[in-house]
Structure 1
């Protein structure tokens, strides 16, 4: 029932929009028109004003068909933004069914493949008059910037308790059931400037403080659940001046939210200890962008997906991911979901690619999820 040619055309059309984070206006307008034509009730929220972008999150609702009203609704989600470089991107469909950009931009399969699969699934359902449960759709903005679009969405209008987020790399059949808390931090070290040639002893070397702290802190995997990375260090003004300031930024990720916070407290404490040794001061701040979740393998949202994969002869593979997605904020607001692999590979690079066969597979799975009576 999935129309291969139409599927590819929709994908190529979606990819053609410039839709970097905070600049999703054109793709948003196209999706409003498309979803409305398919009979969904569509609303754009006020996220644009809240996050200083030019488009809001899209929420759409399709009522259940007769006889399916007793089934609980399901939410299907993808995001409208793409990472850079993305301006002028174009999908090139090759003879072997692979789809790439021209190499100068990302392809945008992350997450246009999700938008394509959901739109085509809805089209198949409507044109074939397939019975289906109530369907909710959430297309977010600014997902690539720590899910900020979904973080300002009003979840009180969501009726679903279960969600499928189409936003995972790898072969179709893969599904992430666990993702981490992600915390970013900024630590400013303030020392004292002095002439490095005449009176270096009168200065307090802020970069040395930061370097000493960084040496004490392990980076990379701290345990099987947790990573820490000091990503940038900036400081100093001139080669002949003892640097009076240094700013360090980094991030911490862990499947255990409390471990994330303990790791942050350790990071801050070590910087403060090194600062005291030389008489410097430290100002530390952090932001928790997303919270960890874990969906049980026995949960219906997982079991339903696995049964449908088996029906299509697709091997399902459950996994954990150290990357975040809109499933993190969905989980925070009481929905239980998983993140589905969605015909996207080598994401966040100009080598990103998709595949027509894989697009067909995830679309067929999406159709069956929407029509499932389980």
Structure 2
């Protein structure tokens, strides 16, 4: 494919990628990588006065070193303001990564660790785009750059963002996927749920009938959700989705139960429900609640007492779907076609910062930049696709309306 009208300096873009991959910044500890990205933006020509950090971290219910990094570029031609976004953080498995090149890939020289291509590719793409726009004086409308925190631990930075800080951006391009031309235009929403089941301890060998087994209540409840079609892949006439009870424990960080000769008196389960329909995700969670409450009625002690069930559910992030003919999707398609790519549209079963950006009023398409085997020790970045991700961002910024 031809990139004649898209003057990306591949060596400079690769240097940015390697530079950012070498900086630790696991979720909640983004201060160092945020400073590195900020310095790179200034070196590319962004005015220091146009770079700021918001106060989203003060609203995130988890310790977070810094707020979202936000920068703006004035337009060099008329047009609606565009948003370019990505996230700063990596999963904890990426701590200590040492990037190195092997052929057309960037891999990790540190054994037993992930690389962090998710999402240092996005950080490098955005800075490389800015560097290219300013170096070559490419015409573009006003641009806002957003680098979020704590994406990997719940999309918190995007969720707590003040939409006013985006300066009226009307559409966005989020870099956080694999293949550049596979445009993600929709994603599921998620409801997080948890249940505490309080039974009664008793000697399991001497008088088990005097106890109320929380383990048994939990097991019956989970079995019930499976039998009724609410466990795992959920397909109902009124909606589709998925669910998973991911954590089964006692008191936080402890085993469920104290010993084999004691009836388990406390179980804590943490799970999720996902769907493209926000109401249906909540319905899946409600089905779990109903199953646990029904199970508690089946398990009683010799006096007829039953376990206490405390169930809570809370939306984690909303679903979204962009229409194929929406301006953001059409712009992304035209940008891809201008580079000789054949764009397709996709829907994700995982959450993205775009879920919240769309909810904040900025229709946002997510594109890729060559990140593969993410969240694993086999992670790598495909450089040709990374370069195409950079070019796609440049084209999204510069293509005529």
TM-score range, shorter chain: over 0.9
Question: Equivalent residues in 2 for 1:52-67 (5 A)?
Answer: 52-65=63-76
Q: Shift of residue 362 of structure 1?
A: 0.9
The answer to whether the Cα contact below 8 Å between 1:183 and 1:251 also exists between their aligned partners in 2 is yes
The question of 1:231 aligning with 2:237 is answered no
Deviations 1:222-255 (A, max 9, x none): 1273001112222211111111111111111101
- Write the distance in 1 (CA, Å) between the matches of 2:347 and 2:59: 31
The answer to whether the Cα contact below 8 Å between 1:182 and 1:252 also exists between their aligned partners in 2 is yes
The alignment partner of 2:192 has SS state of: strand
Instruction: Select the residue among 105, 118, 132 that pairs with 1:124.
Output: 132
Partner in structure 2 of residue 3 of structure 1: 9
- Write the distance in 2 (CA, Å) between the matches of 1:207 and 1:119: 52
Question: Equivalent residues in 2 for 1:92-103 (5 A)?
Answer: 92-95=100-103, 97-102=104-109, 103=111
- Write the distance in 2 (CA, Å) between the matches of 1:210 and 1:156: 45
Partner in structure 1 of residue 162 of structure 2: 154
The answer to whether the Cα contact below 8 Å between 1:162 and 1:336 also exists between their aligned partners in 2 is yes
The alignment partner of 1:138 has SS state of: strand
The alignment partner of 2:357 has SS state of: helix
The alignment partner of 1:241 has SS state of: coil
The answer to whether the Cα contact below 8 Å between 2:82 and 2:144 also exists between their aligned partners in 1 is yes
Partner in structure 1 of residue 252 of structure 2: none
- Write the distance in 1 (CA, Å) between the matches of 2:376 and 2:160: 28
The question of 1:165 aligning with 2:174 is answered yes
Segments of 5+ residues of structure 1 without an aligned counterpart are none
The question of 1:215 aligning with 2:215 is answered no
TM-score scaled to structure 1, two decimals?
Answer: 0.96
The answer to whether the Cα contact below 8 Å between 2:180 and 2:392 also exists between their aligned partners in 1 is no
Partner in structure 1 of residue 91 of structure 2: 83
CA RMSD of aligned residues (A): 1.3
Instruction: Select the residue among 36, 43, 63 that pairs with 2:52.
Output: 43
The answer to whether the Cα contact below 8 Å between 1:133 and 1:373 also exists between their aligned partners in 2 is no
The answer to whether the Cα contact below 8 Å between 2:336 and 2:395 also exists between their aligned partners in 1 is no
The answer to whether the Cα contact below 8 Å between 2:31 and 2:65 also exists between their aligned partners in 1 is yes
The question of 1:365 aligning with 2:392 is answered yes
Q: Shift of residue 48 of structure 1?
A: 3.4
- Write the distance in 2 (CA, Å) between the matches of 1:342 and 1:290: 24
Instruction: Select the residue among 255, 273, 296 that pairs with 2:276.
Output: 255
The answer to whether the Cα contact below 8 Å between 1:83 and 1:144 also exists between their aligned partners in 2 is yes
Deviations 1:139-197 (A, max 9, x none): 0011001101121121112211211111113x221111111111121111111111111
Partner in structure 1 of residue 308 of structure 2: 281
Residues 98-107 or 32-41, more deviating: 32-41
- Write the distance in 1 (CA, Å) between the matches of 2:387 and 2:83: 20
The question of 1:187 aligning with 2:195 is answered yes
The answer to whether the Cα contact below 8 Å between 1:91 and 1:107 also exists between their aligned partners in 2 is yes
The answer to whether the Cα contact below 8 Å between 1:47 and 1:53 also exists between their aligned partners in 2 is no
The answer to whether the Cα contact below 8 Å between 1:133 and 1:372 also exists between their aligned partners in 2 is no
Q: Shift of residue 100 of structure 1?
A: 1.1
